[in-house]
A = this chain, B = another copy of it.
Amino acid sequence: MNTPNFTPTKCEACPIRHRAVCARCNADELVELDAIKYYRSYEAGQTVIWSGDKMSFVGSVVSGIATLTQTMEDGRTQMVGLLLPSDFVGRPGRGGAAYNVIATTDVVMCCFRKKPFEDLMERTPHIAHRLLEMTLDELDAAREWMLVLGRKTAREKIASLLSIIARRNTAPTPDKNNDIMVFDLPLTREAMADYLGLTLETVSRQMSALKRDEVIHLDGKRHITVPDMGRLLEEAGDDNDGGFLI
């Protein structure tokens, strides 16, 4: 696990400043970034980028949640990434998109036109370094997920997903050693299934089972309370500190 040391700047709206670029950036870089920056909005369900399309921008999620998915001709789909606020989208130096990017909720993105961004990256090593950092994080996440997909049972998969979302979604609980976590599930059962390589029925059944066994509490379909994070991690199969995803 790797927590970037960045010094937050004044611009709250644009995460790329904080996370993608600003580890040690200087005023000039910020001015340049501001000059090529703009915003885009997408509605829930809308496709942000189609796999294979050429991408004209890179950027990061400001608010909302998007997913990266791959699809086979016969319709089987696998989610390969989850984009939460402050996550970076785009592949500097690459022509086309490799996956579908789909807005799960309404999404606002902070974008930079690709060419100017790449030029800026060429001139400012900090940006390239920060991007390498982030890409290594994503690679770790993807490989962690390969273990989930290849070797875990349905119940373990669900627990793994919940613990990842809990970790990313919860404001640090005032509670002592954040045993308790409360959050809203940003995904439908079908989306969860696509992430986990399961069917939505299996997801539903395992959610019910975890609820029955009091590993989680469900309030409505989406609002979740985890009374004991340690227990959830056990269920996920990574007893230790493990399981850090995207």
Contact = CB atoms under 8 A, between A and B. Distances in A.
A135 B128 contact: no
Interface string A73-96: 100111011000000000111100
A8 interface: no
A98 interface: yes
A161 to B, nearest CB: 12
A132 to B, nearest CB: 5
Contacts of A139: 135, 138-139, 142
Interface string A146-180: 11011110000000000000000000000000000
Interface string A87-117: 0000111100011000000000000000000
A54 interface: no
Contacts of A70: 143-144, 146-147
B73 A143 contact: no
A129 interface: yes
A81 B142 CA distance: 11
Nearest to A80: B143
Nearest to A128: B128
A239 interface: yes
A135 B91 CA distance: 11
5 contacts: A70-B144, A91-B136, A138-B139, A146-B149, A151-B197
Nearest to A131: B132
Contacts of A94: 2, 136
A122 interface: yes
B125 A78 contact: no
Interface in A31-78: 68, 70, 72-73, 76-78
